[in-house]
Structures are given as C-alpha cells and as structure tokens.
Amino acid sequence: MNHVLVRPDGSIENYAFPLACLADVPKGFRVLPDNPPAFDPAIETLTRSEVVLPEMTEVPYTVTPIAPEVLAVRAAAALSAAVEKRLNETARQYRYKSYHAAMAYVGASVAKYDAEGRAFRDWASRAWAYVDQIEQDVVAGLRAVPTAEELLGGLPSLEIME
C-alpha cells in the first residue's frame, strides 16, 4: 500500500512516502494511506485530490464518467480503424500493400490489375457507405454502437470480375 505525506495546510508533500520513514515525519504533518478506488479507464477518469482536509483518513479521489460524446468519438475511431485494417488485410491477400495501392490500378493497361483496382475501389466505397449508415443509425438512436466484430461481419464482400 502506498502512503502520502500531508502538510499541515492539507496539501500533499510526498506521493510515495515510505512507512520506514515514520520517525522522520515533521511536526504537524500526517501520513495517510493512498488507496485509489477501482475504476474503468475505458469509461471513467480518476483524479486525486490535491488537498486533504483534517478529518480525512485517506487521500480522496474522484471517479468521473467520461462524457458520452468523447466515448462516441473514441468508439467511432476504433471501429474505423478496424474497417481500415480489414480492407488492408484483404488487399495484402492479393499482394497489394494496401487497399489504396490496389485502387491505384484502376485504368491499368493489364486487364487483371484494372479489374482488381476497380473491385477494390467499389468494395471500399460500399464498405465506407455501410459504416456511414451504421453511424447515422447510432446517432439517431436506432441501434447501439456495434462491436468491431459485428461491424466487420456486416461489411460487403469483395467481388472481383475479370
């Protein structure tokens, strides 16, 4: 367990006070246990108080929920990253560095590469349109935020016509 050294005015002097130094506690100072409460960092923040009132027996903390707007932005970014990863992984199966690289072959003089480039362009467009629709439905309250697995499971499939 960690302890803190608290000044007479209630401010914290030392955030990792070793109990072995109890004999060295200056007059008027207090040593208190520092026991942060459990919290979920994915949806909450933890803030330690900078001031300890005289009646307090341990360092106070505040657990604050993260604003829903912030959580929504984080979720959207994570889901977009999952889709981007799926598009790129699929492109690598066709020996392209990324789906953007595959799309660069649209108009290539070799029919196979032109067809793959068009297929990746169309697939990426349909995939992002699907993601946009999901996002609109979530914002409108028509559905909950999907998990990455749910979102990826609903992506359209790549169709390459040669």
What is the tens place of the pLDDT at every residue in 109-147? 999 999 999 999 999 999 999 999 998 888 788 988 899
Shared domain check, 140 and 72: yes
Residue 162 domain-assigned (yes or no): no
pLDDT digits (tens, 9 = 90+) for 66-114: 988 888 888 889 999 999 999 999 999 999 999 999 999 999 999 999 9
> Looking at the domain assignment, is residue 133 inside a domain?
yes
Residue 15, pLDDT score? 72
Q: Is residue 83 part of a domain?
A: yes
Tokens 């981007």 locate to: 84
What radius of gyration, in Å, describes the C-alpha atoms of the chain?
27
Domain extent at residue 144? 68-153
Count of domains in the chain? 2
Do the domain assignments include residue 89?
yes
How far apart CA 119 and CA 87 sit, in angstroms, is 12
Give the pLDDT confidence score for residue 70 in this predicted structure. 84
- pTM comes to 0.65
Span 11-35, mean pLDDT? 81
Contact predicate 104/45, CB 8 Å = no
Residues 73 and 144 in one domain: yes
Are residues 51 and 87 located together in one domain of the fold?
Answer: no
Q: Is 137 within the bounds of a domain?
A: yes
- So what's the pLDDT on residue 42? 86
Residue 18 has pLDDT above 80, yes or no: no
Query: What is the per-residue pLDDT for 47?
Result: 95
Residues 35 and 87 in one domain: no
Same structural domain for residues 43 and 120?
Answer: no
Contacts of 116 (CB under 8 A, 6+ apart): 94, 96, 102, 105, 160
Residue ending a domain, choose from 65, 82, 106: 65
